[in-house]
Amino acid sequence: MRQLPVLMAGLTLSMSAFAASTDQWTLPVNTKKLDNGLTVIVSEDRSSPTVGVSVVYHVGMRLEPRNRTGFAHLFEHLMFQGTPNAPKGVFDTTITAGGGWNNGSTRPDFTNYIETAPASSLEPILWLEADRMKTLDFNPTTLKNQQDVVKEEIRVNVKNQPYGGFMWIDISQHAFQKWENNHDGYGSFEDLENASLDDVRAFHRDYYGPNNAVLAIAGDITPQQGFALAQKYFGAIPARPVPKGTDFSEPLNTAEKRLEQSDALAQVPAIAAAWKVPERGSRDQAPIAVLAELLGGGDASLFYQGLVKGREIALNVDTMFGLTSPWEYNGPTLMTVFALYKPDSSADAVLKAMDEEIAKIAKDGVDDATLKRVKTRMLADWNNKLESFVNRADTMAKLQVLWGDANVVNKIPGWIEGVTSSDIQRAVKTYLVPTNRTVIDRKPAAMIDAAKTAAAPNNAPAGATNQGARNE
Amino acid sequence: MNKLMLALAIALAFAPAAHSADVATPKGMPAYGQEKSIPAPKIARQTLPNGLTVWVVPRDGLPRVDYVLAVRGAGFAADSATQSGFASMLAGMLNEGTAKRDSRAIAEAAQGMGGEVAAGPAADGITLFANALASQAPAMMNLMAEIARQPSFPENEVALAKANALQALRVSETQPGFRAERAIKKAVYADHPYGRTDPTVESINAVTADMLRAEHAKRFRPDRALLVITGRISEAEAMKLAKAAFGDWKASGTALPDTPVVATGVKPARVLLKRDGSVQSTLRLGSPGIAASAADQIPLRLTSTILGGGFSSRINTNLREEKGYTYGASAGARMSRAGGMMVGGADVRNEVTGASLEEYFKEYKRIGSETVPAKEMDMNKRYVAGGYLLSNQLQRSVASTLAANWLVGLPPEFLGEYVPKIQKVTPEQVRTVAKKYFAPENQSIVVVGDPSKLDEQLKPYGAFTVTDK
C-alpha cells in the first residue's frame, strides 16, 4: 500500500524542483554598538508604515537564582508593572494608543520584549523600553499582583491541563544533570511566593543593563534614523557589571532513561522522547535541524507517515527544541518528539516505530529527492517566519544575543542547503541513539489503575517502570 | 510563557483599551509622530463565467504566493442536526486523497513546493488555504484545485480519520475551554446550527465515504466560492492560473438553502460543567449578538475592543492587572453571516469564581451606562487603526481577512472602509450598543470547574444546572 505513493512522490518531486532564484530573500542587517555596550540592529523595509521592535536580554531560566525557580519569568512580568517615571498601566496603554501591540517571553537563554506598531509610535516605544532598562518601580503591590497572575498562568497552562507541559517541563528535569538545565522554569509556587523586592532589584541590576541587551528595529526606518534614536533614548544608560555565569554545559547522556507518569486529567496516553542535541555552532547543528524536519515536520514527515499513517498508532507527531527553535539556544537542549498515541497501542510500539524510521536513515541515509523537498520547505518556512516586522526584529535580536551575529539570519538558509545525506547519517548515529534518550510515557490515571487491577490476581508487579508524580 | 494568551479570538481587528487611559503622559516621553496614510489594498476582481469570484492582490515582499478559496454554505451551518461537526471532517478529508494522488503524495508535493495546502471549517463555509514559494505558484494552484474539486475520500483514510477523531474528541473533552465553548454556544444559539459545531461520538461514527462525496458535491460550487490570490505574482498571471485551474469547474445538483437567521429571544441559562479536582474555573458569559453585516456592527466592534479586546481592555485590566484573578480575560462580539453572539471568558482560580463574575457584570453594566471618556475612545480607535496596518503587513492575513469577510457577507471594500468608519463612532453609540448587547440580565453563564468549590459562590447568580457534558 505504501509503495505506490513513494513512486508517485518521486515523480512529483522531479517536477516541483527546489527553491528557484526568484525565491531568494536576503534581509538587510545593520549593526552598531553604543558606547554603553548596547548592540543595535536595524533592518529597513518600506513596504508597510509600521515597525517591529525587540529588546532581548541575555538572561533566562538557566541563570535564575537556585531557590527562586521561575524567577526569570516572574521578572519578565514585572517589567510591565511600571517605573518611577511611567507608573503601572502606562506601558501598555501608550503602545495600545499608538496602535500597537506588545508581549514578552522567557526562555532558557534569553528574555525578549517585543512591540509592533505604526511607525509613528516608534519613539514612545523606545522611550518606554529605555525607561524600564534604567529602573523599575519596586513595590509590594505590583509584585503580589504579578505573583498571582503568574500562578494563574501556571494553572491554566500546566496544572489544569491534561499533559501539563510534561514534554518540556518534566522531560528536561530528567534528561539533564545540571540544575541550570533541569529545573522547572515556570517555578514552584513556593519559590514564586518567596520572591522579594530585593530579588527583583538584584536581577534588574545584574542582567538588565544595556551591555547585556540587544535592540532590534525592523520596518519603516533607515539605519541612520534607527541608530540615532537608539543613541538618543538608550545612550545615556550606564553599563552595569554582569555576573559571570557558571558552566552549564553537559555531555550527551550515556544511558537511556524511561519513566511513566500518571495523568489525572488525560483520557488518551501520550509520549515524549527527547535526545540531547549538539551545542550551538557545532557542525552537527544544521544536520539535526534538517533531521528534525525530515522526521517530524508536517504531514510528509517520516514519523507522521510512519506512525499516524502507516502503522496508525499515533494521533499526532510534533517535534520541538525545548521552547525555542533549532537555532535559538545556547546551552544543552533537547530535540523532543511528542505524540498522543492510541489507547490500544503502547509506548513501546511508538518507540519501536520511531526507532525503525531512524534506523533506516542511519543505514541508507536520505534520498536526494526527499532531502531536497525537506530543505525547500525549511527555506520557505524560514522566509515565512520573517515576514512580520516584529518577528524579523526579534529573530535578529535573538541571533545577535546567542550567536553574536544578527546576520546569521541570512546564513541559516545556506547552512540548511549545505546539509548532505551523510551529514544526517552522522548526526543520527551520534545523537539519536537510545543511550542519549529520555522518554516519558504519560498515561491517564484510569489506564494505570485498570492495568494494576488486571495484574493483581496474578500478583504481578504493576510494572517495572518508574512511576513519576504529576508535576505540581 | 507569553505575557497574555487571549482566551478568545475576536473577529477581524481584535483590540484593546484602558483603565489608565486617565494616567498622565510621563514627563519626557515623546509624542507620537506623524501618522502615515492608511493604504487600502488594491484588489483586482473578476467573476468567471461559472460564477467563481476571483480577487487578486499582487504584492512585493517575501517570495511566496498565498491562495485562499472560500466556499460559502459549506460549513457547520450546513450540517444536519444529527451530524454536528461534520464540516470539520469534510474539510479535513480534502487533502487525504484526490483522483490523482493519495494523501502522502499530496503532502510530499506541497512540501516540495515549500508550502502547504489544507482546509478548515467555519460556521459559514469551508476555506482552503494554500501557499508556496513564488516559483511554485502554478503547481500549487493546480494542487489546490485538485483538492477542492476532486477529493476522493478513500475508504481507508475515512476509517482512519474517524478513529482519530474519536480519540481527538476524548482529548478535547479533557480541556475545560473546549467544554465551556461548546456549552455557551448551545446556550446562546439553542437549536440553530451555529450552536452545534462540535462533533459527537455518534456524528463521527455515522460518517461514511459516500456521505462525504455527496456533501462535497452539494456544497462545493463555483457560484458560491471566492478565490483570493496574493503575493509575488502579477494580476495577469494570477487570473490566468485561476482560469486554467477553476474555469471548467461546474456545480452539480441543487444548491443548499441559505442558513436561517438566528433567533435572539433565548432565555439566559446557568450551567455548571462538572470537573472534579479542577484548580481553576473556566468561565464563559454569552448572549445573542448580531450578524457581521448588521447596522450596529461598527460601533459594536469598537465597544468590544474597549471592553474586552486586549491587554489594556477594561476587563483584562480589572481582572488581571488590578485583581490578579487570571492570566487573561476578554470579552467581545463574534459575528457570523446569519447572526452572532457576545462572549466573555477567563480562567480564574477557584476561590475567585464568584468575584470574577461580579467584576464581569460590573464592567458590562458600566460600559452600558456611562459614556467612555474621550481619551479612552481615542486610544481604542488608534488601536484598531494600528491593527489594520499591522495585519495588512502580512499577505496571508490580507487574503484570509478578505475571504472571511466575504463569507460573512461583507464586501471587499470593507477592508479599506473599516478604519474610517470606526473613527466616526461616538461615545453615545458605544453606550447604546453596550447596553443593548452586554446587558447583564441577558447573559448566560457557563462555568467549568469543581462543584464542591463553587456552589456557594455561584448562588447569587441563580440556579445552575450541574452536568457532565
ipTM, two decimals = 0.92
For residues A347-364, give the mean pLDDT.
98
Note the pLDDT of residue B23.
Answer: 56
Distance from CA of A201 to the nearest CA of B (A): 20
Residue A442 host element (H or E) = strand A437-444
DSSP codes, B128-186? EEEEEEGGGHHHHHHHHHHHHH-B---HHHHHHHHHHHHHHHHHHHTSHHHHHHHHHHH
**Chain B: closest CA distance from residue A351 (Å):** 19
Cell numbers for A161, please give them: 491541563
Is any Cβ of chain B less than 8 angstroms from the Cβ of A299? yes
8 A C-beta contact, residue A74 and residue A60: no
CB contact under 8 A, A96 and B160: no
> What backbone torsions phi and psi does residue A330 show, to the nearest 5 degrees?
-145, 35
Task: Please work out, in degrees rounded to the nearest 5, the angle formed at the alpha carbon of residue A403 by the alpha carbons of A397 and A404.
Answer: 75
B111 contacts in chain A (CB < 8 Å): 298, 300, 373-374, 376-377
Size of interface A-B (CB pairs under 8 A): 307
For A380, A389, B93, B119, B214, the CA distances from B147, given in Å and listed in that order, are 22, 33, 9, 9, 16
Q: State whether residue A298 sits within 8 Å of chain B by CB.
A: yes
CB contact under 8 A, B280 and A123: no
Sort out which chain A residues have CB atoms less than 8 A from B4's CB and list them.
Answer: 103
Identify the residue among B1, B101, B144 best suited for mutation to test binding to A, counting A beta carbons within 10 A and taking the highest: B1
Chain A residue numbers touching B390 (CB-CB < 8 A): 50, 99-101, 116-118, 388
pLDDT in tens, B94-119: 999 999 999 999 999 999 999 999 99
Chain A interface mutation, best of B315, B390, B422, highest count of A Cβ atoms under 10 Å: B390
Q: Does A232 touch chain B (CB under 8 A)?
A: no
Greater confidence (B335 vs A456) lies with B335
Among all residues of chain B, which has the CA nearest to that of A106? B1
Half-sphere exposure of B240 (CA within 13 A, CB side): 7
**CA of A112: which chain B residue's CA is closest?**
B2
What number is the average pLDDT over the span A267-283? 97
Q: Is the pLDDT of residue A220 over 80?
A: yes
Low-confidence ranges of chain B (pLDDT < 70): 1-24
> Does A193 lie at the interface with B, CB-CB under 8 angstroms?
no
Between CA B301 and CA B294 the distance in angstroms is 11
CA distance B248 to chain A (A): 24
Q: Which residue has the cell 536526494?
A: A368
Q: Which of chain A's residues have a Cβ under 8 Å away from the Cβ of B107?
A: 298-300, 304-305
Best CA proximity match to A283, nearest among A395, A380, A406, A420 = A420
CB A71 within 8 A of CB A203: yes
Residue B405, min C-alpha distance to chain A (Å): 22
Query: What pLDDT is attached to residue A140?
Result: 96
Query: Is the Cβ pair B280, A102 closer than 8 Å?
Result: no
CB contact under 8 A, B105 and A305: no
Chain A 419-458, CB below 8 Å of chain B: which residues?
Answer: none
- Best probe of the B interface among A122, A156, A373, by most B CBs < 10 A, is A156
B195: Cα separation from own chain's centroid: 14
Exposure pattern of A301-326 as b/e (b: 16+ CB <10 Å)?
Answer: bbbbbbbbbbeebbbbbebbbbbbbb
Q: Compute the half-sphere exposure of residue B38: CA atoms within 13 Å on the CB side of its CA.
A: 20
Considering only CB atoms, which chain B residues are within 8 Å of A119? 33, 36
| C-beta atoms of A146 and B387 within 8 A | no
Measure in Å the smallest separation between the Cα of A16 and chain B Cα atoms.
Answer: 6
Q: Mutate one of A16, A145, A189, A308 to test the B interface: name it (highest B CB count within 10 A).
A: A16
Higher local confidence (pLDDT), A47 or A10: A47
Q: What is the pLDDT of residue A346?
A: 97
Instruction: Check CB contact of A194 with chain B, cutoff 8 Å.
Output: no
C-alpha cell read off for B332: 467581545
Residues of B in contact with A130 (CB under 8 A): none
Predicted confidence band of residue A458 (pLDDT cuts 50, 70, 90): low
CB atoms < 10 A from the CB of B326, how many? 31
Kindly identify which residue of chain B lies nearest to residue A159, measuring between CA atoms. Answer: B279
Written as nine digits, the cell of A31 is 549593526
Q: Do B392 and A144 touch (CB under 8 A)?
A: no
Question: Does B114 contact A98 at a Cβ distance shorter than 8 Å?
Answer: no
Could you tell me if A22 lies within 8 Å of chain B, comparing CB atoms? yes
**Residue B450 DSSP SS3:** coil
pLDDT of residue A459: 45
For residues A409 and A3, the model is more confident at: A409
Alpha-carbon distances of B364 from A28, A116, A297, B369, B425, rounded to whole Å: 48, 30, 45, 9, 19
Per-residue model confidence (pLDDT) at position A466? 35
Cβ contact, residue pair B109, A376, below 8 Å? no
Scanning A61-100 for CB atoms below 8 A from B yields 73, 76-77, 80, 85-90, 92-94, 96-100
Q: Which long-range contacts link A228-233 to residues 24+ away (Cβ below 8 Å)?
A: A229/A122, A229/A123, A229/A126, A230/A32, A230/A34, A230/A38, A230/A40, A230/A126, A231/A34, A232/A126, A233/A123, A233/A126, A233/A127, A233/A129, A233/A130
CB-CB under 8 Å, B327 with A160? no
Asked if A389's CB is within 8 angstroms of B104's CB, the reply is no
Residue with cell 506623524: B34
* Whole-angstrom Cα Rg for chain A: 24
**CB–CB of B174 and A15 under 8 A?**
no
C-alpha cell at B439: 446587558
- Residue in A closest to B23 by C-alpha: A90
Which residue in the set A93, A145, A377 is minimally distant from B18, CB to CB? A93
Q: Which residue has the higher pLDDT, A19 or A31?
A: A31
CB atoms within 10 A of CB B139: 21
Is residue B293 within 8 A of residue B409, CB to CB? The reply is yes
CB B147 within 8 A of CB B94: yes
Chain-chain contact of B111 with A377 (C-beta, under 8 angstroms): yes
Which residues from B are below 8 Å from A49, CB to CB? 36, 389
- SS3 label, residue A223: helix
Subunit contact B325:A148, Cβ cutoff 8 A: yes
The C-alpha cell that represents B101 in the structure block: 494522488
d(CA B340, CA B294): 10
Closest in A147, A186, A298 to B111, CB measured: A298
Quick check: A47 and B34 CB within 8 A? Answer: no
Element housing A44 (H / E)? strand A39-44
State the pLDDT at residue A4.
29
- pTM value is 0.92
Query: How do residues B147-175 score in pLDDT, each as one tens digit?
Result: 999 999 999 999 999 999 999 999 999 99
A267 interfaces chain B, CB cutoff of 8 Å: yes
A28 to chain B, any CB pair closer than 8 A? The answer is no
Indicate if the pLDDT at residue A191 is higher than 80.
yes
The CA distance from A356 to the nearest CA of chain B, in Å, is 19
- A119 in contact with chain B, both atoms CB, cutoff 8 A: yes
Tell me whether A161 touches chain B (CB under 8 Å).
yes
Do residues A447 and A269 touch, judged by C-beta distance below 8 A? yes
- Look at residue A97 and give its three-state secondary structure: helix
A264–B277: do the CB atoms touch at under 8 Å?
A: yes
